[in-house]
């Protein structure tokens, strides 16, 4: 019987790449089977995520926003690169650049993102990284978490695929809370990718 064709993903990164590493580790362990990372793209030259990809022999490229006169031309370059690989899914893993409508519309229902809070709360324009955890701690709620969702043209507002709740502990700081949530992001992102593929959504 022939091997089922592998599901191919493109991963967009901007930072340390711990979410990318979680996908890499899940593929290597067989937990995310029948999947391959075709390309890793970063808008930041110094993103450690690129080194993680390189270490695994995964194709990776830095695309410099400064080489383009506007976000649309930058995103068109990314679309061109991604389309060279015919991916089934585009994963935003710590990617900090807002996507243009042209990019989102180029991959309908094929782009997912991991957000470090329980959307639809604590999401939207400007709500990323430590800003999210600051707002959550300020709100006084007792739990936060992370959300894997489809990306639409409304920031952090696409259909939710997978969510994990994380308790907020007495004396939590942005640092302690973000670290606890980041651990759950790694598991949630892998589960979210599995769910996309298993639902034959992709």
Q: Does 116 bind ligand GRF (CB under 6 A)?
A: yes
d(CA 2, CA 168): 48
Closer CB to ligand GRF, 76 or 96, in the complex: 96
Rg (CA), the chain: 17
Closer CB to ligand GRF, 48 or 76, in the complex: 48
Q: Does 147 bind ligand GRF (CB under 6 A)?
A: no
d(CA 82, CA 87): 7
Q: Which of residues 57-86 bind ligand GRF (CB under 6 A)?
A: none
Q: Does 148 bind ligand GRF (CB under 6 A)?
A: no
For residue 120, say if its preceding peptide bond is cis, omega within 30 degrees of 0: yes
**What is the set of active-site residues?**
115
Position among 26, 39, 112, 182 found at the interface with ligand GRF (CB under 6 A): 182
Q: Which two tokens stand for residue 39?
A: 């390309």
Q: Which two tokens stand for residue 112?
A: 């997912």
Nearest to 133 by CA among 148, 154, 118, 149: 118
Q: Does 17 bind ligand GRF (CB under 6 A)?
A: yes
Position among 90, 114, 119, 161 found at the interface with ligand GRF (CB under 6 A): 114
Q: Which of residues 19-38 bind ligand GRF (CB under 6 A)?
A: 19-20
Nearest to 97 by CA among 68, 119, 121: 68
Cα–chain-centroid distance for residue 127? 15
Closer CB to ligand GRF, 13 or 87, in the complex: 13
Number of residues that bind ligand GRF (CB under 6 A): 15
The sign one gets for the Cα dihedral 192, 197, 198, 202 is positive
Q: Is 42 strand, coil or helix? A: strand
- Part in contact with ligand GRF (CB under 6 A); list of ranges 13-21, 34-42, 79-87, 167-175: 13-21
The minimum distance between CB 91 and ligand GRF, in angstroms, equals: 10
Q: List residues near ligand GRF by CB under 6 A.
A: 13, 15-20, 49, 93-94, 114, 116, 129, 182, 185
């Amino acid at each position: 019987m022939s091997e089922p064709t592998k599901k191919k993903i493109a991963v967009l990164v901007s930072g340390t790449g711990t979410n990318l590493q979680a996908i890499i580790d899940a593929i290597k362990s067989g937990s995310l089977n029948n999947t391959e990372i075709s390309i890793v793209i970063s808008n930041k030259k110094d993103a450690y995520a690129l080194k993680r990809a390189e270490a695994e022999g995964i194709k990776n490229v830095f695309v410099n926003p400064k080489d383009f006169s506007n976000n649309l031309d930058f995103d068109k370059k990314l679309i061109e690169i991604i389309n060279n690989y015919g991916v089934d899914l585009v994963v935003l893993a710590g990617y900090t650049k807002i996507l243009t409508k042209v990019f989102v519309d180029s991959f309908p229902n094929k782009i997912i993102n991991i957000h470090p809070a329980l959307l639809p709360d604590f999401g939207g324009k400007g709500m990323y990284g430590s800003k999210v955890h600051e707002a959550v701690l300020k709100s006084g709620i007792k739990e936060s978490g992370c959300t894997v969702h489809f990306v639409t043209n409304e920031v952090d507002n696409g259909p939710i695929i997978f969510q994990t709740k994380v308790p907020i502990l007495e004396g939590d700081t942005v640092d302690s809370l973000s670290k606890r949530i980041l651990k759950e992001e790694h598991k949630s992102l892998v589960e979210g990718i599995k769910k996309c593929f298993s639902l034959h959504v992709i």
